[in-house]
Structure 1
Amino acid sequence: MSTQKQQTVAVVGTGVIGAGWITRFLAQGFDVIATDPVDGAEAQMRKKVKQAWPYMEQRGLAAGASMERLSFTNNLQEAVQNVCLIQENVPEREELKRKVLAEIDKHADTDAIIASSTSGITPSVLQQNCSNPERVIVAHPFHPVYLLPLVEIVGGTATSQESISQAEAIYKKVEMKPLLIEREIEGHVADRLMEALWREALHLVNDGVATTEEVDAAITYGAGLRWAQMGPFLTFHLAGGEQGMRHMLHQFGPALKLPWTKLEAPELTYELKERVIEGCETSAGNHSVEELEAKRNEFLVRLLDLVEEYWPEPQSIMGNKKELSNG
């Protein structure tokens, strides 16, 4: 694979997630070829990249990074040739994704990785229509992609280990923290955790226990502050005092069987939807979504610096699963 090809990616679908990928790759010195059949897609994409660029400058651009290294074409076949990675971001509809991925597979170079940003569909399902399913993976990012470093990498039944390793190397080159998920499952890992919290939040609002603002405050000023540095397991490990998780499970473990939480989502009635919508609009006040995004990005830039200062190598915690299991 030529040096130029190793530094060139294609992004298929240029909405919020696609534009986020484009921004991250450009900021790390890659050339990006974007494609999207929607009318006006190029103008919207370039607007999003331009809006996000100042935050990439604050985080630090790679040598040669430039928005000028972005090109756009309406021709999918043209976009996916002579690249090392194709990142697919079309709407979350299984039939559509399978069709697009099969078309990408038909025209892409055989040594290129094909990655889907799907938040819920498993790779074994997505690769069914592909002639070369061994190079098809899920690479699920988090919004905003240009700032949040986690990417969940999942292979399907036909995916080769070589493709997983190749994808991991590419994402590390763009300063991401790959989480290799060995067993595919709908929703992967992080979204399943977020969905559990989201379901419980909806129940609390629906049952009149708390408002949307109070639920947000409970996370913002409580668990969320800790989760920015440590996940739930290590957080609870500290809650156990000197004996850590051993004491924590002994003392608080029985509470897990108490009927505190709701496993199923509440019925999304008109009343619940309006309560949630009105609560969010009240919290937002007079700020537009664009203004709120800017505040969020400014916060994340500073937070990432702090996380890296206190937890400089989170990838070592993700770690080598074999090493952990043999420990």
Structure 2
Amino acid sequence: MSPKWNDAAVVGAGTIGLAWAALFAANGVEVRITDPREDLDEAVDAALPMLAESIPGARVEQLRSRISTTPDLAKAVENAELVQENGPERLEFKRQLFAEIAEHAPAEAVLASSSSGIVASDIAAELPAAAAARLLIAHPFNPPQVVPLVEIVPGARTDGRVVDEAFEFYRALGKTPVRLRKEISGFAANRLQSAIMRESISLVRQGVVSAEELDTVMKASLGGRYATVGPFESFHLGGGPGGIRHMMAHLGVGMAQRWQDLGDPELTDEAIADVVAQTESAYGSGESDYQQRARARDRKHNAINDALNSEEQ
């Protein structure tokens, strides 16, 4: 399935913006990237080899032929059918940015933010009704060209038709869009991630496991499980024929008691230094280590995607 729209603008050429641009281009969409950085073309050229490697069937030359750059925001969005914003996570910055985007983009363009926590209603609070009706959150999980999820989170004034159109666009890219029924800071996936990181840091700081051992525990248990079934289906299956009713009756009270004992670590300078030191000791640091591990992550995640997709067909 090809995307409905053929022209998109990507605002912001950081990690997320460049990944979106590559994914759009790989699906036949003409993309214009805008960013005030002086090395914009160099940044695109440097990022594409690794991005193309992570997108099945993509070639660097093919992607680059569909991606153009400009420091001029107005020029970047003037013909866009969808604008994907990837700016800093600062509310006032996003408000000003979307005011400018709405001024120059076509009247029917969908205005999507990759925000990882700021809700659309807050971003659109000072926009006129027509622009607010076209603005929503389309939050990817990093890296966007590999991880299927995109959270579609409309604001209070977002038009339902725009939500439906955005949903279909991302699904045509091969994404797995999920519409959130209520605006909440951090949305769903990041809140789950934050809960896991909170207890992970607590266990490491208590000396229960090292950072590397914690990762092994996750990869050898919940990570693989949750790639195939989510928490509720997992609990349901864990109860055998009795399902979640059996699990709640026999384990629910103990689980609730354990909630009271979950860690609440403070991110002091000492705690941060400890976690950073353990993580860098286990996985290295710097550009070379990053590229090696990111490539391995992307290959493994694509293998999981392929396995899950083959089961669904």
- TM-score class normalised by the smaller sequence: over 0.9
Matches within 5 A, 1:148-167: 148-167=147-166
* Matched residue, 2:41: 42
CA contact (8 A) 1:200 1:262 kept: no
Question: Which of 123, 126, 130 does residue 129 from structure 1 map onto?
Answer: 126
Q: CA 1:200 to 1:85, structure 2 compared with 1: closer, same or farther past 3 Å?
A: same
SS at match of 1:234: helix
* Matched residue, 1:73: 70
CA contact (8 A) 1:149 1:175 kept: yes
CA contact (8 A) 2:81 2:110 kept: yes
Structure 1 residue 50, shift from structure 2 partner = 2.4
Q: Which moved more, 1:193-202 or 1:256-265?
A: 256-265
> What is the distance in 1 between the residues matched to 2:100 and 2:118?
18
Alignment of 1:308 onto 2:309: yes
In structure 1, what residue type is equivalent to 2:23? R
Q: Which moved more, 1:10-19 or 1:230-239?
A: 230-239
* Matched residue, 1:60: 57
Task: Could you tell me which runs of 5 or more consecutive residues in structure 2 were left unpaired when the two chains were aligned.
Answer: none
Alignment of 1:105 onto 2:102: yes
* Matched residue, 1:22: 21
Structure 1 residue 66, shift from structure 2 partner = 3.4
Structure 1 residue 51, shift from structure 2 partner = 1.7
Q: Which moved more, 1:293-302 or 1:87-96?
A: 293-302
* Matched residue, 1:194: 193
* Alignment length (residue pairs): 307
In structure 2, what residue type is equivalent to 1:120? G
* Matched residue, 1:318: none
Post-superposition CA distance 1:189-238 (Å, at most 9, x none):
11101100011111111222221111111101011011111111111111
Structure 1 residue 258, shift from structure 2 partner = 1.1
* Matched residue, 1:92: 89
SS at match of 1:159: coil
Q: TM-score, normalised by structure 2?
A: 0.93
Task: Could you tell me which runs of 5 or more consecutive residues in structure 1 were left unpaired when the two chains were aligned.
Answer: 313-327
CA contact (8 A) 1:28 1:65 kept: no
> What is the distance in 1 between the residues matched to 2:262 and 2:78?
45
Q: Which moved more, 1:69-78 or 1:206-215?
A: 206-215
* Superposed CA RMSD: 2.1
Alignment of 1:33 onto 2:71: no
Q: CA 1:72 to 1:4, structure 2 compared with 1: closer, same or farther past 3 Å?
A: farther
Structure 1 residue 5, shift from structure 2 partner = 9.2
Q: TM-score, normalised by structure 1?
A: 0.89
